């Protein structure tokens, strides 16, 4: 069984046992399991904390069943997708200020996954570059600076 098929089954069963009526779909291109629910707030939690826990638990179960399975993402009613889109829009707004003022600016603290999204977004930008500290803190602030 493919690890994403396994993930779909695990999440569908898990949420079904908890009493949620959902549709669980696979996005193979992005290695994401998309859950469509009539009760997204209960599944997402405050600032996505329940979604993170669901994703962690599903990944652990799937890796137990398919040992070489890579990690996958779980999204509920496109919460992650819209959050990441807003995050990039905010970073673009800060980058525009940096271009106009020629002064560096810092973004809000982020985890490594979100920092990677921002760094990749600006990777080939012709007017700004990004930097984040190399310390061991879990949440770090990216600095956007002029090239």
Mean pLDDT in residue range 73-91: 95
Task: Judge whether residue 1 has pLDDT over 80.
Answer: no
User: The domain that contains 102 carries what CATH number?
Assistant: 3.30.1370.50
Same-domain status, 70 and 89: no
Q: How far is CA 93 from the centre of its chain?
A: 20
User: The domain that contains 19 carries what CATH number?
Assistant: 3.30.300.20
C-alpha closest to that of 88 among 44, 134, 111, 119: 119
Instruction: Provide CB contacts within 8 A for 143, sequence distance 6+.
Output: 104, 105, 106, 107, 130, 131, 132
Report pLDDT for 138. 84
Question: Is 5 in contact with 21 (CB distance < 8 Å)?
Answer: no
Q: pLDDT tens for residues 48-76?
A: 899 999 999 999 999 999 999 999 999 99
């Amino acid at each position: 069984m493919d690890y994403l098929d396994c993930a779909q089954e695990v999440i569908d069963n898990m949420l079904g046992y908890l009493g949620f009526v959902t549709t669980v779909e696979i996005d193979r291109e992005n290695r994401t399991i998309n859950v469509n629910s009539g009760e997204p707030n209960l599944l997402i939690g405050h600032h996505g904390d329940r979604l993170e826990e669901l994703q962690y638990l599903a990944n652990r179960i799937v890796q137990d069943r398919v040992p070489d399975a890579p990690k996958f993402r779980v999204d509920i009613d496109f919460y992650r997708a819209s959050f990441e889109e807003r995050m990039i829009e905010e970073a673009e707004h800060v980058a525009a200020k940096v271009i106009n003022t020629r002064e560096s600016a810092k973004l809000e603290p982020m985890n490594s996954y979100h920092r990677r999204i921002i760094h990749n977004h600006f990777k080939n930008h012709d007017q700004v570059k990004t930097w984040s500290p190399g310390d061991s803190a879990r949440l770090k602030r990216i600095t956007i600076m002029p090239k």
